[in-house]
Every structure is written in C-alpha cells, then in structure tokens.
Structure 1
C-alpha cells in the first residue's frame, strides 16, 4: 500500500443509530474504523470523511440535525477533509475525484455505512475511475432489509452479497488487521 493511499470514511454518522434502521451486522465496524483512522493519522496518510446530508425535511440525515454529526469513533480532526453529499456516491456532486487526483492518489481504502448503499456505490465508481479500491470489509456494516417480495434478508447476507458483487471487478478486500500491518 502506498503512502498516498487515501482512507475514505463514508457516512459514519449518528443517523445510523436510529432504531428505525433495525438490526445490523458487524457491531465492531466503528471500532475498526477508529483503528484505521488512528493508523492513517500516525503515518501521515490522507483521510477524507464523507457525510451524507439528506435532501428532504423528513430525512434522518436532515441538515442541521444532530443525527448528521459523526459518530464519536469517526470525528474528523480540524485539518482532515470533509465532503458532504446528498446521493449514494461520494463522487457525484462533490469534488472527491479532483481531490484524489490532486493528492496523486492511485488507491483508496473504503470504510463506512452502509455496505450495500453508499459504500458499494462509492467503491464501484472508484473502481470505474481507475483507483485501486480496497474495501475494509470488517470496517463496514449494513442492516436487515425487506425485499419487494416481502422477504426479510439478513444484514450478514446483504453484506456478503455486496462483497461478492464488488469482488474482482470494482474492489479488493482486506480486514482491519491486514490493513494496519500494511501501513506500518
């Protein structure tokens, strides 16, 4: 992993603590994100935080509400970049690609919430834009979802299927421990 590998911390916000989301997988995701942030900070690697701001007044991510604040494990330091988005991809309607190019970045390590929404969409676009994309699989999480047929899908299955969808074409995968070893 290069010294210019950017850590993307996507939507690690208090809105995801709302009980309306239901049951989720990987309760250690935020702790793993905190470990990765610590390692990136200690080694002087670039970090970009991405925060979702909802476009509607009823959104859990409503601008100005406490729910858009980052979770304690992912609070940006004053010198770290924060990008605000209103759609699933961190690239659409933002200057993320330009920032990455300006940094001379060729690889991104992606973490955050939720695996099958903003994390997946951002990984797909990063891969399509030519960045080596590594998803920290244990530093991401998602929630149970009900399909259009009324069938409940477990968060663990959704997470695993999302990884399968990204595998080989859009992203590589690593666990937090492997990434921590790589940045030493």
Structure 2
C-alpha cells in the first residue's frame, strides 16, 4: 500500500530526481504494461542497465524488449540472480549473443566514471 516509493524495500533510498516506474508484466518494456519507456524517452536516455530477478525471466524479457525498441542494453552479470546458476548463466549468454552487452558491476561503474559509451 502507499506510493511506489513507500512500497520499496525499506533499505532502498529514494532521492529527489530518482525515476520510479512500476511494471505489470515480465518485461519493463512491454507495451502498455509499464511507464518506463516514455519516461526514458522524455529524458533522452538511450542505454539501460538491467538488474534484478529472475535473470532468465523478467530481466531477460526486459533486455530483449529494450533491445527491440532500439535501446542499448547492458545486463549487469552480478546484479541479477536466478534460482539456479545454469538458468542465470543461460540468460546472460542469450543477452550477450543477441540483445546487448553483459558486464560485471565494477566494469559498468568504470564505464560510467569514464563517460564511455558501449557500442550498440
């Protein structure tokens, strides 16, 4: 109950200017099931970092749909989890082979600090 910010895990800190979006499908980019795509478009964002659970369901679905919409996708390898390692690894493989890049958190942070762009 309450606002989206109030329904987040109690240890998450929401800062002024943070963008919160709710999804009602496995993908955060499935048409009509999330407010995220228009929020990103309005801000001129062209790259998404995918983290969460489950790697092989919601995260992979989100990566696939984001890629289909023309966004650059980086699946954060150690920022996702599945019930089994083989499911997690298969999802990372699928994303890497067809939909985007896969990097560990430390490499993603290095890219952000350097202001680098990842080729599409």
With normalisation by structure 1, the TM-score equals: 0.53
Task: Choose between structure 1 and 2 for higher RCO, CA contacts under 8 A separated by at least 6 residues.
Answer: 1
Query: What are the within-5 Å matches in structure 2 for residues 14-33 of structure 1?
Result: none
1:75 deviates by 3.7
Which runs of 5 or more residues in structure 2 are unaligned? 114-120
1:74 deviates by 3.6
2:52 and 2:14 map into 1 onto residues whose CA distance is 14
1:112 and 1:167 map into 2 onto residues whose CA distance is 17
1:140 deviates by 0.7
Aligned residues: 108
Which runs of 5 or more residues in structure 1 are unaligned? 1-63, 144-154
1:125 counterpart (58, 65, 69): 65
With normalisation by structure 2, the TM-score equals: 0.79
1:81 counterpart (19, 25, 40): 19
Query: What are the within-5 Å matches in structure 2 for residues 1-184 of structure 1?
Result: 64=1, 69-72=7-10, 74-92=12-30, 93-143=33-83, 155-184=84-113
- Max Rg structure: 1
Q: Counterpart in 2 of 1:60?
A: none
1:179 deviates by 1.0
- What are the superposed Cα offsets for residues 112-132 of structure 1, whole Å, 9 maximum, x if unpaired? 111111111110000111111
Q: Counterpart in 2 of 1:35?
A: none
More strand by proportion, 1 or 2? 1
- What are the superposed Cα offsets for residues 16-72 of structure 1, whole Å, 9 maximum, x if unpaired? xxxxxxxxxxxxxxxxxxxxxxxxxxxxxxxxxxxxxxxxxxxxxxxx39xx94335
Structure 1 consecutive aligned stretches of length 4 or more whose deviation exceeds 6 Å: none
SS at match of 1:167: helix
